[in-house]
Structure 1
Amino acid sequence: MKCKESRGQLVLPVLYKVKTKDVKHMLGKFGEAFTSSMHSFEEDVKQQGPLALRKTVDLRVFESEKFADGREGELINELIEIILREQQHDFQPHLPVNLVAIEDHVAEVMALVDLACPATRIIGIWGMGGIDIRKCHKSTVHDPEMGINMIRLSCEKKKVLILLDDVDHPNHLDNLIGGCKFLLGSRIIFTSRHKAINCQDGALLKSTYWYELKKMDFEKSLLLFSMHAFGKKPPPKPLVALSRDIVGIIEGLPSALTVIGSCLKGEEDQGIWGEMLEKLRNVPDEKVQQLRISYDVLEDDVKKLFLDIACFFIGINKRIAPYLWDHKLCPRTGLKKLIDRSLIYVDDEDELGMHDELRDLGKAIACPAYKKPWDCSRLWDEEAMIVLRRKVTIMSTFGISYVL
């Protein structure tokens, strides 16, 4: 009862062949048994036990002899249903408050999932990057073969739901789940940023149900932008025209709408809004370059944090992250600024995250394609190994990451 009062814990009193009045007033065989056992109880139980029992039976009580005329199987089923309903309530996902235009997508994908279909079904979602799928389980696996074997061993001959993010080659799908004998009714959902993947050969791709995630229309784009820029749906009248012009240039890319909107949050000077519009008009057509504008306005120390996260620290716990930088960079303040500008986020497991386009932007800034690896400010994976093997003298590199 203490847990119920302090934590709101669910309590379901079940009296098996015992009457409620006997428990409440210590009567009958129950009262006799309880009283005769008092000498073996701890002192606090002797004092608080009877009161706790009285409070318990004041709740909804299930008496086995009264419920469904004593049919115990029906009582068990009723208790199971109550517990399952409570669990569903407890585990409702905590979705971001600024989600826009998601209902239609969910409905269309669920139509493809078709839970009523008894067969195993694969659903592919392709379109813009940055699709966030919540992970049911997260493991760090650096050896691809180990990861493949882990999936097969844990999922073989089971009814499963598997979510795969950012699949960019048909072989990835075949290697991961090809040949696995899932039970009927299993569902495999994967995302890809590459439109051409659904035209390629691959045993599993031929039986895949495809859903194209199209860019947002103008009105929904304006809604998403406004929620980040103003914290409300309609833009204020002085900034309506500028808002519409900015949204029109961004052309429905959610991550850019979010980041540019957050960059202008709290800014009422129309001159500054005009400067942002001009910058967007002058950037190349590549959508990633629109995000570069939000990076360019950051302070130098915050830029360093952004690049480090993009290259090394996605998935690092937010409480650990500040200790990875020199205190002179003021990492806690910098992380807050990056979160406020929607350049990074903290997921449900308190780990740092970043949208795909922003991650790609950070890596492109840290190690541009036109530079030799040893001239890059940050190195990871193959580029890091190239430099280490060649024993090249590096003068401008601030960080190296390589997983053995």
Structure 2
Amino acid sequence: MAASCIYDVFLSFSGIDTRKKFTAHLLAALDRHGFYTFRDDTKLKRGEEIGPGLLKAIEQSKVSIIIFSENYAASRWCLDELVTIMDCKRTLNQIVIPIFYDVQPSEVRSPMGCYAKAFANHEKQFEETVKIWRCESTFIEIVVGVVAKKLNPTWLSVADYPVGIEYRVEKLNYFLHLDSMDSNSDVRIVAIWGIGGIGKTTIAKALYNDIHKKFESSSFLANVGQTSMQPNGLVELQEKLLCDILLMDGNQRIRSQDCGIEIIITTRDLSSISSLEVDEVYIPEELNNEESLRLFSWHAFKRYRPLQDYEILSEKVVSYAKGLPLVLEILGASLLNRTIAEWKSELKKLRKIPHTDVQRKLSLSVNSLDDEQKGLFLDIACFFVGMDKDFPIKILEGCGFFPESGIGVLSRRGLVSIDVLNRLTMHDLIQDMAREIVR
């Protein structure tokens, strides 16, 4: 890559097709994520050649995004941009990302020889990216993610298909009140709480990607609970945090976990953060039916909606998942490229036996319970869901349990809820997991 790059991204597009629609939205997303983008907004008349300044901007960009649309090939300057971009790819190792907007790749290939030659070479190297995308908001986030992975080593990988993420990040961002904070003194702590598979880590990563450039330094610690249980794990986490926020070279060492305890916070459930001055607790909503179907379709069909003969079966899977992104992703990936007969067989199996990967992920919330709490959880799942809370408490107290305290623990971990009618409730998939443990 040439050392003279001054732009992160160059956008090549047909203004008549996309300027006020897709391109404007994509540019806004790139700007929001902090990428310096060159957009060709010159008003060239038909037949007029593009100037050397525009060609220079292509050479000075790290990434070129080409938006192939209906009239792209009809534009002389678009094709001139394309030739320059492909030359930069070959000579400067420039990163090139193609997007096909409302056209089939076969339509783009046929009109012009130089266009077909450039595209054929392009498609071989970007087979996964060369698709027709019609769901703009999801795809724009995917494109931004691809650009970020290429250019920004601090970018966290969020999700292959970030359906519904932007809305939830906006809500979480609102809790932070970054616009009104005094940068010299204000500190806010926001907790994300919910059952396993709801997308807590995904939302946190997406928020981190959005805001970390606003701070002098930042850190994202993943798998804190699991790492802290390892020998010297808490010290390792503290050292990573210190290296990140103090911009150290990694050679500094903490002698014991007590030395760095004021810096790091670890939590597993609501009770463990009760002693902290948490400003907000955000409980992510489950995906609605439309979001669920879209996320499932991306994983099961690699497109934004189901194939024609799979609509009803897809609706059944979405109904089973009850809005949990983790379940939709796992089941979608497991059904990719499988026949209708196989789909029907898998759905019958799911009614009797939960999917192994789903079971394993959801059971993480249960594994940290003590024996009495686990027994109480299984009893509620098998016998007491839907009942007034006071009734099973009397029964379980008569059996020598301590249900009042235990139900509080389960509630704080998102395994059991109490509705407005004082009834014990439980997410369907959590209940299925508990019954499978018993089985």
What TM-score do you get using the length of structure 1 for normalisation?
A: 0.39
